A = this chain, B = another copy of it.
Amino acid sequence: MTVVDLTGALSEDRSPAVVLAPVAELPPRRTPVRTDLSTEELHPSLEDPALTSMNLLNEIANHYPDAVSFAAGRPYEEFWDVDDLPRYLARFTEHLRTDLGYSEERVRRTLFQYGRTKGIVHELVAANLELDEDIRVDPESIVVTVGCQEAMVLVLRALRSGPKDVLLAVSPTYVGLTGAARLVDMPVLPVASGAAGIDFDDLLDQVQGARAAGLRPRALYVMPDFANPSGVSMTEKTRRTLLQLAREEDFLLLEDNPYGLFHSGERVPTCKALDEQRRVVYLGSFAKTVLPGARVGYVVADQTVTGPDGSAGLLADELSKIKSMLTVNTPALAQAIVGGKLLEHGCSLVQANEGVREVYAANRARLADGLAARFGTGSPVTWNAPAGGFFVVVTVPFPADDALLTRSARDYGVLWTPMHHFYDVDGHGRNGTRSLRLSCSVLTPEQIDTGLDRLALFITDELARTRRGAEVR
């Protein structure tokens, strides 16, 4: 079943009991005796595109299961083995016994019982951050979360203290961030990305404009490495300037880094690695480097927080209080699986991901070469060439909206993600956006070629249609 993955995270329904209804022929939902509730009585986020886009796109995708999907942002699956799971579990259990000297009773309790709110693999995560990212943090400043999504909710819930608090986000923005902000009623002010990954003039305009309007910009959300959806990365110079502006204008940076290990060229230090004044709250994910099904992510929040009595603690401990009322703790079993893999690889995931890194690099190259072969010089179709990650953005000379996606899937058998879904303008996509996101993380080379053939035919026909439309006018 082909499924759109709008976010690279929020993903498909593939239960045997559930196949989402196709867009064109929604079956009548079983009619109730009477209506119990209406959407007007529910939180406004439930009618917000940030929460509904994915469902819509999944419905389109599920209606065309034979289409080649450049939409799915899921990680590559071929290196996974079900037999790894008990081995990871055993490895972590052995770690508790041997390295930590736990008694059998304590091992059992650690896996079965309620556990530490901030997590049980925080020491391993800290070791991983030092080895793979050159980030040195106190393990106590780490909160292990139910995927990076929960980490974003924790941070935004903490920072949204009242109606004045707003968030800044480089636009186009990961939909999961926008959705998390909706759940805590926190406005998101878009900041232009540009070729550098962020437009500093627009950033300052937004920050100062918000202040002038009596608002308090608390943080800027950025994905400096191979951003979802733009694929754009920031240079080290840009990152250093960003840190300086964060200090000068007094806001935090929320750095999200799910794709950093999947680079082709040299790696650039993360903002957190360059952070000398605790300006960066670092959002981490093991979804792409270990497995998504464990739903294990984390947040590094080493900022100090002073209480009314003058005592200073860690922001991580404040986030932990929120987590205790959100999910209590991250499932120990899921942490054990991730911990087991970390232990098997000496806490570094670079080598462990070498094979999949090469797959992604080869797929990106094949996608770029394939686009060049099909849209030569002089073509009005352009695209970027990210040096890592899952995503490439193609720009076309006509609006790439959901109706067009439906036509592309229905008549040409190829799926992609309309970029307008990633532009959150007053809770609506930027209409008329003329670009589409292509992901190649779960496709074979042959599927990439087939998909590009279909995409080329679709775009060529659409260009002709557009021209005819122009001539008629």
Which A residues lie at the B interface, using CB under 8 A? Answer: 5, 9-18, 26, 29-33, 35-47, 50-52, 54-55, 74-75, 77, 80-82, 85-86, 89-90, 93, 100, 102, 104-120, 122-123, 139-140, 146-147, 149-150, 153, 157-161, 176, 179-180, 182-183, 218, 277-278, 287, 291-296, 303-308, 311-315, 318, 321-322, 324-334, 337
Output the nearest chain B residue to A302 by Cβ-Cβ distance: B36
Output the nearest chain B residue to A442 by Cβ-Cβ distance: B113
Given A293-B111, A304-B36: A52 and B122 interface contact (C-beta under 8 Å): no
Residues of chain B contacted by A86 (CB below 8 angstroms): 85-86, 89-90
Q: Is the CB of B10 within 8 A of A328?
A: yes
Residues of chain B contacted by A55 (CB below 8 angstroms): 321
Q: Is the CB of A123 within 8 A of B17?
A: yes
Output the nearest chain B residue to A106 by Cβ-Cβ distance: B14
Protomer copies: 2
Given A35-B304, A308-B39, A322-B46: A11 and B115 interface contact (C-beta under 8 Å): yes
Q: Is the CB of A13 within 8 A of B117?
A: yes
B114, B140, B305, B331: the one within 8 Å of A42 (CB): B305
Residues of chain B contacted by A117 (CB below 8 angstroms): 10, 13
Output the nearest chain B residue to A96 by Cβ-Cβ distance: B16
Output the nearest chain B residue to A86 by Cβ-Cβ distance: B86
Given A13-B117, A36-B305, A37-B305: A328 and B294 interface contact (C-beta under 8 Å): no
Q: Is the CB of B113 within 8 A of A77?
A: yes
Residues of chain B contacted by A80 (CB below 8 angstroms): 108, 112
